[in-house]
Amino acid sequence: MDIDLGDARLNRRARRVLGQLGDKPTVSIPSACGGWTETRAVYRLFDHAKVTAEKVLAPHIGCTVERLREHPRVLCIQDTSELDYTTKTDIQGTGPLNYETRRGLYLHPTLAVTPDRLCLGVMAIHRWAREPGSLGQGTDPSRPLEEMESVRWVDGYQQVNELAESLTDTLLTYIANREGDIYDLFVEALCPETAADWLVRGQYDRALADGKTLRQSLAEALVLAETTFDQPGGNGRKARLVHQQLKTVRVTLKAPYRPDRVLPDVEVTAILATEPHPPAGEEPVEWLLLTNLPVDTPEQALEKLQWYLCRWQIEIYFRILKSGCRIEELQLEKLERLEPALAFYMIIAWRVLFLTMLGRECPEMPCDVVFDTAEWQAVYLVSERKPPPDTPPSLDQMVRMVAGFGGFLNR
């Protein structure tokens, strides 16, 4: 980790802390450090004025960009997750969540993922805590976009767009859920051919320039493709098989009114994926997707749907942060300490996700591709209780050994 905090001692301490927390991500900071002296040193590091979340993440983001260059297409996925510190009343600087009585902050990262779902790293991070008494102000339509929380989606696309101009051999596609269905974002995409593409899940039945609505136009379209996939369970939903039909139309969206600017009409492709015959008692799975890219063939429609399904990777990333690294259990006295700690855990969570997916995609790869010799030999020695072999085990074997330390039963 080539971190630069402006002080060689701080750099050494940061690398050591990352190793300590990474070795035991599921326990508290004092437990990971193994003693009060080390714990105090970690707290002093988080409290240092030179140690910010941006500086901690900078080397990781730089490495992520380099990994992007090795792939022809990378999906830049954004989403927001709330961090609930309601019970941590001693943390200064948190703000209200969905209620004034719930306190915490929000994380809005950009995750780089290949179409094969291999997570390449964090590209950017936006975080904020709301001001007390500010709930409800974000829905005022008269406020400029720049003063609203939703501007984070447009800013996120702009960041991806700027990076796309420097990656001449890698195509970037920005992906967002329904909160990213913001007309101003589509306008930002009216750029040269070097710009990033975008794929956003729609939530509005937008008006079209020809007088119809988006849903009306899609209802008149023919089925272009069909697909079947396994939907994972979660949030009270059972895992099940889903069969969908896909329709697509190329339309021109009518620009909405803005009190502070005049927006142009924008041409987009709409893809409607519907489940015509869901199981009894189940809600049909339906997605309305909008993209700047043309979709003329069944293969292109299925490709865009698979890109959107890759968005589940950021949900898994949040789950690792919260359930694996337990970042909502951190007990730090102020936001200035909490944010650098979160940055360390964001790097750790990425590595967990990266190794998990790499182990699935390339199980026979030798483990020394991602583990140092000392790392894999130490794991092997403890796990197998015998001297490590001369030839490194496969990545799949090593990931399972590491997972065993956390309770994985290999079933």
Long-range contact set of residues 37-44: C-beta below 8 Å, sequence gap at least 24: 41/13, 42/17, 43/332, 43/337
Alpha helices in 27-100 (DSSP H): 29-33, 36-47, 53-68
What pLDDT is attached to residue 29? Answer: 66
| Higher-pLDDT residue of 263, 399 | 263
Average pLDDT on 177-202 reads 85
For the cut 60, the answer to whether the pLDDT of residue 294 exceeds it is yes
HSE value, Cβ hemisphere, 13 Å, CA-based, for 48: 18
pLDDT > 90: percent of the chain = 43
Instruction: Mean pLDDT check: name the lowest of 77-81, 274-278, 360-364.
Output: 360-364
For the record, the structure tokens of 295 come out as: 């979709």
Only one residue has tokens 């003693």, namely 35
Nearest to 351 by CA among 317, 383, 322: 317
**Residue 24: what residue type?**
K
For the record, the structure tokens of 15 come out as: 């690398």
For the cut 60, the answer to whether the pLDDT of residue 24 exceeds it is yes
Average pLDDT for the chain: 85
What pLDDT is attached to residue 20? Answer: 67
What pLDDT is attached to residue 250? Answer: 96
Paired sense of beta strands 73-78 and 171-176, if any: parallel
pLDDT category at 223 given cuts 50, 70, 90 is: very high
pLDDT category at 139 given cuts 50, 70, 90 is: low
Average pLDDT on 168-197 reads 86
What pLDDT is attached to residue 134? Answer: 77
Length of the chain: 411
What pLDDT is attached to residue 365? Answer: 72
Distance CA 310, CA 201 (A): 13
Distance CA 41, CA 33 (A): 9
| Higher-pLDDT residue of 95, 16 | 95
pLDDT category at 39 given cuts 50, 70, 90 is: low
Residues 6+ apart with CB under 8 A from 334: 91, 92, 93
- Phi, psi (degrees; rounded to nearest 5) at 47: -85, -10
For the cut 90, the answer to whether the pLDDT of residue 178 exceeds it is yes
Identify the DSSP state of 208.
Answer: B
Nearest to 292 by CA among 195, 209, 214: 195
CA dihedral 46, 133, 150, 164 (to 10 degrees): -20
| Higher-pLDDT residue of 190, 336 | 336
What pLDDT is attached to residue 193? Answer: 67
pLDDT > 70: percent of the chain = 84
